[in-house]
Amino acid sequence: MTERTRQPGQSTEPDVTKVDLDGGVYSSRAEPRADVGMVTDFALGADSTALAYESGLELKARSQWAYIRRRFLRHRLAMGSLFVLIGVILTSVFASHITSYTYTEIDFNLILKGPTTAGHHWFGTDFLGRDYFTRVLFGIRTSIRVAVIVALLSTSLGTVIGALAGYFGGWIDNLLMRFTDLVLTLPLLAVLLVAANKFGGGNPYRVALILALLFWTGIARVVRGVFLSLREKEYVEAAKAAGAGDPRIIFRHILPNAMGPIIVNMTLTVANAILIEAALSFLGFGIKPPTPALGSLISDGQNEMQTAWWLVVFPGIAIMILVLCINFIGDGLRDALDPTQRRVRA
Amino acid sequence: MHLRKLWLFAVAVLAGLALVTTGSASQTSSKAGATFVIGLEQEPTILNTSIIGGDALANVYISVPMWAGAYKITPNFSYLPELVSSVQVQQNPLRLTYHIKKSAYWNDGGKKVPVTAQDFVFTWKVVMNPKIQILGTTGFDQIQSAKVINSKTVKFTFKTPFAGWKLLFTDNEGILPSFALKNDDSFNHVWLNYVNDPRTNKPLSMGPFIMTGPGDWIHGRQLTLVRNPLWWNGKAKLAKLVFRFYPDSQTEAQQIKSGELDAFNPQPQVFLVPLRHTAGLKTQIGRGPVFEHIDFNVGFHNNNPLLKQLYFRQAFAYAIDRSAIVNALFTKTDIAPGLPVLNNIWLFAGSPYYKQPWKPYTKNVQKAINLMKSHGCTGGPSRPGGGGTWTCAGTKASFRFAWRSGNQLRVLTFEALQAQLKTAGIEIKADDSADLFSSRLPKGDFDIVLFAWQGSPDLSGLNNLYGCRDDATNKNQQNDQGYCNPKVSRLLDQVNKTFDPKKQANLFNQATAQMAKDLNTIPLYQKPTYLIYKSKFKGLKENPTQETFMWNIGRVVG
Amino acid sequence: MLTYIVRRLLYAIPVLAVSSFLIFVFVSTTTDPLEAIKMNPRASRHSIQLVERKHHLDKPVIERYGYWVRDVFTRQFGTTILTDRPIFPDIRRVLGNTIQLVIAAELLTLLLAIGIGVYSAIRQYSVFDYAATTLSFLGLAIPTFWLGLIFQIIFVNVFVNWHVRIFYVAGLSSINPGHGLHFYMDRVQHLVLPVLTLAIIGIAGYSRFMRASMLEVVNADYVRTARAKGLVERRVILKHAFRNALIPLMTLAAIDFGTFFGGAVITETVFGLDGMGLYFINSLNAGETYNIMAWLLITATMVVIFNLVADVILGFLDPRIRLD
């Protein structure tokens, strides 16, 4: 990546130089760090580089992304969630190999039976006697597809719009924000009703696109706020003075500071998107039966809480796990991306 | 932190509130009769049930206790004379002479005003007034003239015979008060918030209950009726009726358990079944005149041409297992145990004229497969469940199956049918939409559709749905299937003119026997109805017709 | 600042115009209030035509929009298509009910969410943090109706088993709520559960946000400076970090608050509350375009106003921001 330039006025005489076992370089002079083992001060590294060359040591120049990656990998909760999430996704992808039933297999003799080991109906059965474990697994697959697309699309869209509005200000900001206001005033259900009418069908990608076009407004305003306050910062001025272009300033300097709220917002969107899907089926725009989706599984079983609790509990747990994992991963990402973060282990 | 203190404070306030206000149970009974609280899942927009928009189901519950008609429809779909003591029927041309009960009168703001022949004539004139947005003119538009013989006798002469004449002056409000209303555009707005005499602004009623003022209807919450002290047909035992408005039946179920509701009429669903076995509550299961059925699009061209082939429709009828579906949806879930498969349309098991022309269509997948194969179809299974989908003369046996979105029972029905048809090599795909009734059905934009009709004791007028359609002469405009069999058309037209109920039913059964052979439609089941109520209220009887269980509310004791 | 506010209010007019036009076109072309009537084989075609002509249902959309705009100013939002019911009294009523619900829920949410979020951030990765995080995700993953239903079941069972009515599980008031203090106590008893339902889910979202925002701030240079200067930790947090961390949450809350006037549909359905959300759903199902437009005008105005409020907060509290 970038070359570290020497800061004017810095001393070139450190006391001791140590080579980090991982290949990083740090100095044990002056300020002993609490988080031993991690280099977070790039400025110090600058003249240590010079020193290392002088003493003939091998130097591995690490990129900023390498540090970010390392910090992420050390975030236990994030890594754990990543594994769980991958596990859940793999399970749902290979669902047909795991379960002995298909999700359309109807059995009128086993209607609304509770969870049991008999016949491997671990999650019980639904109104038509179908194995609920299978339906939940396939439901995860469908819901993830739609929800992740919605979350990624809407977050990207919102971030871009917010960044542009906050960074450039002026009439761009005005126009974009009035547009945001407009989208915010449109009631979700009315728009979906129209979409259902015009486009029909239950194509999950179309649904995801339309939802994304409505969900981006919250994150846009937050990102705009961050950009508005940070574009006056000194390091932005410094970067400009050094000749950095706008895109670089936006992406390298200001955007990482907005990652926190962005990621929180993304996880909230995932959860929302999954549950909105249930409302869509009421308008004829949802995922077509018999394909299950977590949101519609919950809404179908919602009234039977006292008699058939498993209809809502298991998809609900699935949603919770998904949201939890994504959010902890998000936590890890945010911590990893924040260069001023002191404690990184979780 | 001061935030924590605030949090503790909030909790303390809530706890204090809870303690201070507990124990405030609602008052329900007084010495002179009880209050009966009824849950409704809809709120009326106007209290006039004769005009467009006034026909919501909620309206019926509220207006039946305040009005009376020539006849009352009983729970087994028969007509009981209410305002008339007798009616003379003469044929060629049809002439009806109504003899009104001498004892019948209105309570007009505390004054007794007798029901007269003028009221009958006025009702007819209002219905036929082109400035009034009347809901339906069926039958009234065939009246040629009216003659008032005396204040309690009136004779109507008809242009053409109308077999369903008993519904006249029975539907909606029944008889309108000629002394209180004007026959003009004001009828479109009368009784917006209060059933009254518009001249004096005093309450008006001909039934066991009456309103006392516009304040009785607290919009969004409840509507109250009190006992009518001047009811001509006796004295109501209950002192008050309170209708409370709820958005759905889950809330009502919680309310009846928590003692804030006394009765409600929900769609039967699984979560209501435990209420049937709850102490203090009773449930009556009715079989409604609403029946679920499958229709094929046999006429219009924008669909799969296989639909026009009788052998395909027969294969369909033998591939599905109607009794298994009805059993799974209603008996296994204990919603309506023992609900039978419906084997006729518009006539039901309770009727003495019920025949079952659709009975032969029971599950026989092999027969379905053989039907398809013997007509040159290829690619399908040779045995039930063998896999593959038929292709007949280049057309794949794959169809769009439509229903109106948002109905879980229909989704389940579709999924069950899909699995059953698959074993016979027929494929159906989900094609539900929200605008099924408003735009798709009238345009014929469907292959196979699942929905329900609301039946009535009157069999006339069904040519509209099944008779041959002619857009040039506006004939039978409601026939969205494009079904046309001249024999059936003729029979249904004759039904409209036949007065003897036995003969009428006989003709009708001939028509449906033909339709069962043509298989343009397949009936599934009568929709069950629930009446759930506190057992301390005696005399309640579920009436699945348009009268609802309010039909005998004057005799109910609490 | 004043010119900014005035300018923003002026910009709101085209936004409202475009928004109202879009929604009018959307709703009037995809719903039909006479749908149920048309399905009835016995309905009078002539009457249907009467209604259609009276409400211009047969005219092109643009012309109908024009009629609506006229009705907004001359006839107080006009009347419903079926039965000509005046809209304004109904919408005033449901708005009042929603305001009660929403303000109570929002206050409770903000109070608790800020507390939990700040504490989680200060004690990052502590037991409290993990517990709050997990509970937050529980709150996020739980569908609203489920939570509401659970509350209903709990308190109904309390009534059935112990014959004591702590909170009502549905409706806004009892059948005979009385007057004055008794009426208000009755109303509070009815609103506690819906407010709790809304608040729990709100807290789940906002506390995460507050925590994230607080974490940003706590690691900032100026906080480090304050600590280096030797300030007491508590003062550092409260005076320097907390206020700055509050800004993003306040802007989010302001924006969200604008949308609350549309009502909380699911909560209102579960608890049978006569509010804006239920009004919207019923009107949409019935195809009553004018009702929806009235609802839209109110909610759109609120959204626009509170977006403005959010921007003003941002400009006011954060001295780095220049609003121009």
Beta strands B395-396 and B391-392, pairing class: antiparallel
A194 contact C CB<8A? yes
Subunits adjacent to chain B (3 or more Cβ pairs under 8 Å) = A, C
Say whether pLDDT at B314 is over 90.
yes
**Residue B1: closest CA among chain C residues belongs to which residue?**
C115
Instruction: Give DSSP secondary structure letters for C273-304.
Output: --SHHHHHHHHHHHT-HHHHHHHHHHHHHHHH
- B226 φ/ψ sector (left φ>0, alpha ψ -120 to 50, else beta): beta
Q: Do A289 and B435 touch (CB under 8 A)?
A: no
The residue that leads in pLDDT, C294 or C39, is C294
Q: Do B415 and A282 touch (CB under 8 A)?
A: no
Distance CA C48, CA C57 (A): 11
Question: Which tokens go with C73?
Answer: 């100013």
Crossing angle of the two packed helices A255-282 and C180-218, in degrees rounded to 10: 140
The residue type of B452 is A
> Exposed, middle or buried by CB within 10 Å (0-12, 13-18, 19+), for B302?
exposed
Cα-to-chain-centroid distance, residue C28: 24
Q: Do B134 and C44 touch (CB under 8 A)?
A: yes
What residues have CB less than 8 Å from C108, skipping those under 6 apart?
B10, C195, C196, C199
**Residue A192: closest CA among chain C residues belongs to which residue?**
C26
- Bridge partner list, B99: B86, B153
**Residue C173: closest CA among chain B residues belongs to which residue?**
B221
The residue that leads in pLDDT, A245 or A171, is A171
Strands (E), chain C: none
Average pLDDT over all residues of chain B: 89
- Bridge partner list, B557: B538
Q: Do C82 and B1 touch (CB under 8 A)?
A: no
Say whether pLDDT at A322 is over 60.
yes
Angle at A333 between CA A331 and CA A334, to 5 degrees: 65
- Cα-only R_g, chain A: 26
Tell me the shortest Cα–Cα distance from C269 to chain B, in angstroms.
Answer: 6
The residue type of B4 is R
The residue type of B367 is K
A312 contact C CB<8A? yes
The residue type of C87 is I
Pick from B332, B405, B435: which is nearest to A282 by CB? B405
Say whether pLDDT at C322 is over 80.
no
Pick from A268, A341, A343: which is nearest to C140 by CB? A268
Q: Do C38 and B219 touch (CB under 8 A)?
A: no
Say whether pLDDT at A333 is over 80.
no
- State the DSSP H helix or E strand holding residue B81, giving kind and residue range, or none if neither: strand B79-81
Closest by CA position to A142, among listed A264, A312, A273: A273
pLDDT confidence band for B444 (50 / 70 / 90): confident
Residue with tokens 């699995």: B419
Instruction: Give DSSP secondary structure letters for B276-336.
Output: HTSTTEEEEEEEEEEEEEEEE--S-SSS-GGGG-HHHHHHHHHHS-HHHHHIIIIITTTSS
Q: For the whole model, what pTM was predicted?
A: 0.84
Percentage of chain B lying above the pLDDT 90 cut: 65
A111 contact B CB<8A? yes
Would you say B455 and B164 are in contact if contact means Cβ atoms under 8 Å apart?
no
pLDDT confidence band for B124 (50 / 70 / 90): very high
Q: Do A305 and C307 touch (CB under 8 A)?
A: no
Provide the H-helix boundaries in B115-200. Answer: 117-128
Is the dihedral angle over the CA atoms C288, A303, B335, A291 positive or is it negative? positive
Q: Which of B56-60, B422-426, C49-53 bottoms out in mean pLDDT, i.e. has the lowest?
A: B56-60
Would you say C293 and C79 are in contact if contact means Cβ atoms under 8 Å apart?
no
pLDDT at A12: 35
Would you say A166 and A231 are in contact if contact means Cβ atoms under 8 Å apart?
yes
Say whether pLDDT at B342 is over 90.
yes
Is the dihedral angle over the CA atoms B56, B58, B61, B65 positive or is it negative? negative
Pick from B244, B257, B461: which is nearest to C171 by CB? B244
Segment C219-252, tens digit of pLDDT:
777 777 877 887 777 776 777 778 788 887 888 8
Q: Do C219 and A186 touch (CB under 8 A)?
A: no
pLDDT confidence band for A6 (50 / 70 / 90): very low
pLDDT at C213: 82
Neighbouring CB atoms inside 10 A of A140's CB total 25
The residue type of C96 is G
Rounded to an integer, the average pLDDT of B187-207 is: 93
Q: Do B405 and A281 touch (CB under 8 A)?
A: yes
The residue that leads in pLDDT, B471 or B178, is B178
B324 contact A CB<8A? yes
- Bridge partner list, B146: B156
Q: Do B188 and C42 touch (CB under 8 A)?
A: no
Q: Do C216 and A338 touch (CB under 8 A)?
A: yes
Mutation choice for A interface testing from B277, B325, B332, B451 by most A CBs within 10 A: B332
Q: Which of A96-105, A197-206, B528-537, C253-262 bottoms out in mean pLDDT, i.e. has the lowest?
A: A197-206
A112 contact B CB<8A? yes
pLDDT at A19: 33
Rounded to an integer, the average pLDDT of A265-285 is: 72
Average pLDDT over all residues of chain A: 74
B chain contacts of residue C112, beta-carbon cutoff 8 Å: 7
C chain contacts of residue A261, beta-carbon cutoff 8 Å: 209, 212-213, 248
Say whether pLDDT at A14 is over 50.
no
A chain contacts of residue B434, beta-carbon cutoff 8 Å: 193, 196-197, 282-284
B273 contact A CB<8A? yes
Mutation choice for C interface testing from A77, A184, A185, A333 by most C CBs within 10 A: A185
Q: Do A190 and C219 touch (CB under 8 A)?
A: no
B chain contacts of residue C82, beta-carbon cutoff 8 Å: 45, 52-53
Distance set, CA B419 to CA A108, A139, B256, B426, B428 (Å): 12, 19, 38, 10, 9
Segment C64-103, tens digit of pLDDT:
999 999 998 888 888 998 888 999 999 999 999 999 999 9
Q: Do C205 and A268 touch (CB under 8 A)?
A: yes
First to last CA, chain B: 56
pLDDT at A5: 35
Segment B128-171, tens digit of pLDDT:
999 999 988 888 999 999 999 999 999 999 998 888 899 899 87
Q: Do C82 and B53 touch (CB under 8 A)?
A: yes
* A 262-301 near C (Cβ less than 8 A): 263-264, 267-268, 271, 275, 278, 298-299
The residue type of C281 is I
Distance CA A301, CA A309 (A): 8
Segment A30-56, tens digit of pLDDT:
333 333 333 333 334 345 556 656 666
Say whether pLDDT at B61 is over 80.
yes
Would you say A17 and A48 are in contact if contact means Cβ atoms under 8 Å apart?
yes
C243 contact B CB<8A? no
> Exposed, middle or buried by CB within 10 Å (0-12, 13-18, 19+), for A17?
middle
pLDDT at A60: 62
Mutation choice for C interface testing from B20, B346, B438, B439 by most C CBs within 10 A: B438
Mutation choice for B interface testing from C175, C182, C185, C284 by most B CBs within 10 A: C175
Segment B82-111, tens digit of pLDDT:
999 999 999 888 999 999 999 999 999 999
Mutation choice for B interface testing from C31, C46, C83 by most B CBs within 10 A: C83
Say whether pLDDT at A152 is over 80.
yes
pLDDT confidence band for A59 (50 / 70 / 90): low
Q: Do C84 and B1 touch (CB under 8 A)?
A: no
Distance CA A268, CA C140 (A): 7
The residue that leads in pLDDT, C237 or A307, is A307
Neighbouring CB atoms inside 10 A of B377's CB total 24
The residue type of B314 is Q
pLDDT at B16: 56
Would you say B524 and B322 are in contact if contact means Cβ atoms under 8 Å apart?
yes
Closest by CA position to A143, among listed A312, A326, A322, A324: A322
Rounded to an integer, the average pLDDT of C303-323 is: 78
Rounded to an integer, the average pLDDT of B399-404 is: 92
Q: Do B270 and A108 touch (CB under 8 A)?
A: no
Segment B233-267, tens digit of pLDDT:
999 999 999 999 998 888 999 999 988 999 999 98
Q: Do C141 and A319 touch (CB under 8 A)?
A: yes
Tell me the shortest Cα–Cα distance from B35 to chain A, in angstroms.
Answer: 29
Mutation choice for A interface testing from C289, C306, C307, C318 by most A CBs within 10 A: C307
* B 413-442 near C (Cβ less than 8 A): 435, 437-439, 442
Pick from B270, B414, B435: which is nearest to A197 by CB? B435
Question: Which tokens go with A231?
Answer: 């574009």
Rounded to an integer, the average pLDDT of A55-67 is: 65
Q: Do C320 and A341 touch (CB under 8 A)?
A: no
C263 contact A CB<8A? no
Question: What proportions of chain A, in percent to the nearest 5, are helix, strand and coil?
Answer: 65, 0, 30
Neighbouring CB atoms inside 10 A of A172's CB total 13
Task: Supply φ then ψ for residue A65, to 5 degrees.
Answer: -65, -30
Provide the H-helix boundaries in chain C. Answer: 2-30, 35-39, 45-54, 61-74, 87-122, 127-141, 144-162, 180-218, 221-228, 233-235, 243-260, 265-270, 276-286, 289-317
B271 contact C CB<8A? no
A chain contacts of residue C303, beta-carbon cutoff 8 Å: 181, 184-185
Tell me the shortest Cα–Cα distance from A261 to chain B, in angstroms.
Answer: 24
The residue type of A15 is D
pLDDT at B17: 54
Distance CA A197, CA A205 (A): 16
Q: How many residues does chain C have?
A: 324
